[in-house]
Structure 1
Amino acid sequence: MTYDLLIETEAARLGALATDLSIPVPTCPGWTMADLVTHVGQTHRWAVHILRNQVQERIWSRQVPSGLAEGQSGDAAWLAAGVAELLDTLRATDPSMTVWTWGPDKQASWWPRRMVFELVVHRADAELALGVDPVVPADVAVDGVEEFLHNLPYAGWITPRLAELGVEGATIHLHATDADGEWTITQGPAGRISWERGHAKGASAVQGTAQDLLLLMYGRRSPEELTVYGDADLLGRWLTTAAF
C-alpha cells in the first residue's frame, strides 16, 4: 500500500471539507471543524519534527511548534502546508531509521501508516459532521483495522482503562463481509490485548463491511449498526473503552 499517496489524497479530501470551521463535530465531542483541522495539522508537524530531528525520546504533539499564534486555529491552507512538509519529509527519510514512536515499531516506517489512518478517521469525522456518509475502500479499511490492533497494546492511555473492565480472557471476533478480513481479539492481563487473523468463535462477534469495522473500532460506528452475535454488552463496553 502506497501510504504517501493515501496521505496526499486523504488530506486533500479533509481540506475540501474544512470550509465552515465553526461547524460542531459530533464524533469528537466539544470540537468544531477548526479544532479538528488544528489537531490533524499539529499531528503532521509532530511527525515531521520527530523524523527530521531523529527524535529518540518521547515527545508529544503539543510540544512541537505549530506555526500558529496563541489561541489561533488552523485552516485548510495551514493544513495543506503541513501535509506538503510531511510528504517531503516522509519521501526523504530512510524507513529503517530508528526514531521514537508510541507504538511497537521504533522505525520511521511506523509514521506513514499512522498518519494515513489519523487522516482517514478524521476525514470521516468531518464528513459525518456535514451529514455525508464516509467511504473507505475495503483494502484500506482492512489495513486500518490491523494498524489499530497492532498499536492498541502500546496505547498507554487506554490499557489502564481496559484493565478496569475486568474481562480478562474475553474474546471478540471481527468479520469483514466485503473483504478478506477476520480477526480475534483476546483481552489479556493488565489491560493488554493480543490478536490474530482468521476465523474463530468469540464470546462476542461482529460482522460488517471492512469500512464499518474500522469506524466501529474508532468509536465512529455503533455496534447496533452492524450484526452482533454473542455478548453484545461485552462488545459495547470493550469498544467504548478501547476507542482512540
Structure 2
Amino acid sequence: MHTNDYLTHLQREGELLADAAAKAGEHTSVPTCPGWTTGDLVRHTGTVHRWAARIVAERLAGPVPEDPMPEEPTGAALPPWFLDGHARLIATLRAAGQGTDCWTVLPAASPLAFWARRQAHETAVHRVDAESARGGELSTLDPVFAADGIDELLTGFHARPRSRVRAEHPRTLRVRPTDADAAWTVRLSADAAPRTERSADGPADCELTGRAQDLYLMLWNRLPLDAATLTGDAALAALWRETSAVT
C-alpha cells in the first residue's frame, strides 16, 4: 500500500470513530477496552494523533514519550477537539516529504510510510472500539487494508523482543485470509519473540482462516476466536488470545 492509501483509510476511520462515539455517548463503557468509557477512547486516540503529528512535523528523534494532555476535553468540546487533531495529523502527513527523518516505533521503508500506516491502523482498531460501544454492526474494512494490518501486527509488533507470545515447546500458527492474497506462518518458542514468515509453506499446528477483516480484528483481540475458522490445536489460538496484547 502507498502513503496516500493509508491517509485515505485514516481519514475514513477517524470520521467513523467520531460518529460512533457521538452516538454512543461519552460515558458509555467500551466492551473491547474493559475499564474505558467512550470518552476515554476518544481522548486516547486524539492524544495519539497529536503525538504522531508532532513527531513528524518537528522531525523529532526518539523515543518520544506520549504528549501529556494539558486539559481533558469533555462534553461538547470533545468531538471538535478530536476532529481537529485528526485533521491536523492528516495534513501533517500529507505535507511531509518522503525524505522526512524522525523517530519510528517499528522498522519501515521510511518514517513517513511508518506513521501513515501506524496511524491508519491505530485509528481503525479504535474505530471498532467506538462502534462496539455504540452497538450494531461494525463498518467493513477493505480486505487489502485489513491484510496489511495483520502484517504490521505479526511482522512488526510481535517481532519485537517485548512480545509476550511464547510457547513452552516450538509451535506454529498459520493465518490465512480467504479474501486477500496473503498468508503468514508464525513460529513460537519459549525463549524468543515469534518469527513470522509471509508464506503458507510447511505444516502448522493451528490455522486460522476467514475474511481478512475478521482475522485482523480477532488477532487484535477485538473479535472472539470463533470469528475465524480454526483447524488444529485450539489451545494455540487461545495462547495467542491470552498473551498477545500490545502495550
TM (normalized to structure 1)? 0.89
Give the letter aligned to residue 215 of structure 1. Answer: L
- Structure 1 stretches of at least 4 aligned residues deviating more than 3 Å after TM superposition: 71-74, 153-156, 188-191
Aligned residues of 1:219 and 1:240 also touching (Cα < 8 A): no
Alignment partner, residue 140 of structure 1:
145
Q: Which amino acid aligns with 2:52?
A: A
Question: Residues 188 and 51 (structure 1 numbering): CA distance in 2 closer, same or farther, change over 3 Å?
Answer: farther
Q: Distance in 1 between matches of 2:37 and 2:98?
A: 34
Deviating more after overlay: 115-124 vs 143-152 = 143-152
SS state at 2:184 partner: strand
Helix, strand or coil at the partner of 1:75: helix
Residue 98 of structure 1 deviates from its aligned partner by 2.4
> Which residue in the other structure is 1:119 paired with?
123
Q: Is 1:152–1:193's contact at 8 Å kept on the other side of the alignment? A: no
1:30 lines up with 2:35 in the alignment: yes
How far apart are residue 224 of structure 1 and its match? 2.4
- Count of paired positions: 236
RMSD: 1.9
Q: 1:96 to 1:109 in 2, by over 3 A?
A: farther
Asked if residue 82 in structure 1 is aligned to residue 100 in structure 2, the reply is no
| Distance across 2 between alignment mates of 1:188 and 1:93 | 40
Alignment pair present for 1:239 and 2:241: yes
Partner deviation per Cα, 1:164-198 (whole Å, 9 max, x = no partner): x434x311001112222221111256441221223
Q: List runs of 5+ in structure 1 lacking aligned partners.
A: none
* Structure 1 equivalent of residue 48 of structure 2: 43
Report sequence identity in percent: 33
1:97 deviates by 2.3
1:131 to 124, 130, 135: 135
Taking the TM superposition and a 5 Å limit, the aligned residue runs for 1:13-28 are 13-19=16-22, 20-28=25-33
Q: Matches of 1:102 and 1:240 in 2, distance apart?
A: 23
Mapping for residues 103-182 of structure 1, pairs under 5 Å: 103-105=106-108, 107-134=111-138, 135-153=140-158, 155=160, 158-159=162-163, 161-163=164-166, 165-167=167-169, 169-182=170-183
Deviations 1:135-161 (A, max 9, x none): 2121111111112123224556x42x2
**Are positions 1:184 and 2:189 aligned together?**
no
